[in-house]
Amino acid sequence: MNCMRENKSIIDIAIVDDHPIVIEGLKKLLTAEPGFCVKAHFSRGDDMLGYLRDQMVDVVLLDITLPDGSGIEFCQKINEKYSNVKVIAVSNLNERSIIRQMFRSGAVGYMLKTADPRDILDCIRRAAGGETVLSSEIAYILNPQELSEPNDIPELTKREKQILKLLAEGKKSTEIADELFISPLTVKTHRATLLHKFELGIL
């Protein structure tokens, strides 16, 4: 995508999310604001990594749950190969353990998709400038000092990963059961296991 440049202070951005409505919403917000340029957008993490081999951006807005893998894993790959690129997680997930995993993988920011547009723009500007950023809802959930505290990353089975992804999309247990061809009781069992692994009070 081409962006008009009157100065060198433009922040080049790539968006990675498998929901077209999220991509379009972020594009509309960012292209209407001076100082931002959406260079590319992707629904798969591997496509984004392929793009970064030939093109560079300042900031990647990265979803946690993607069709071809976890945003946590993709964040780590970006951090290892392209250390100058700032990664900001943009997700529906607000679990403390997942937020901390993203930061340990190299993210510099975490925002909820429901964040106020002004909050999103401010976080991107500050992250591009080298700050660690949290949208206001996340800052309420997690104190920035907690980001550096040690925390074991739980091992998830393939089925648990599938259920976690569908939960992040807002699906109910009955809907998940229908989609995965399993019983609602099985879904509830997996949810209980996820609660235990992530040390959460509700999921």
Structure tokens at 84: 């100058």
Query: What is the pLDDT tens value at each position of the chain, 203 positions in all?
Result: 556 555 558 999 999 999 999 999 999 999 999 999 999 999 999 999 999 999 999 999 999 988 888 898 899 999 999 999 999 999 988 888 788 889 989 999 999 999 999 999 999 999 999 999 999 989 888 766 666 555 555 667 788 889 988 988 888 999 999 999 998 888 888 887 787 667 554 55
Question: What pLDDT shows up at residue 195?
Answer: 75
Q: Which amino acid is at 177?
A: A
* Cα torsion 155, 160, 166, 171: sign: negative
Q: Burial level of 125, CB count in 10 A (0-12/13-18/19+)? A: middle
What is the residue-averaged pLDDT of the chain?
A: 87
Question: What pLDDT shows up at residue 147?
Answer: 63
Question: What pLDDT shows up at residue 145?
Answer: 63
* Full set of structural domains in the chain with CATH: 11-148 (3.40.50.2300), 158-198 (1.10.10.10)
Q: Burial level of 46, CB count in 10 A (0-12/13-18/19+)? A: middle
* Cα torsion 60, 30, 68, 187: sign: positive
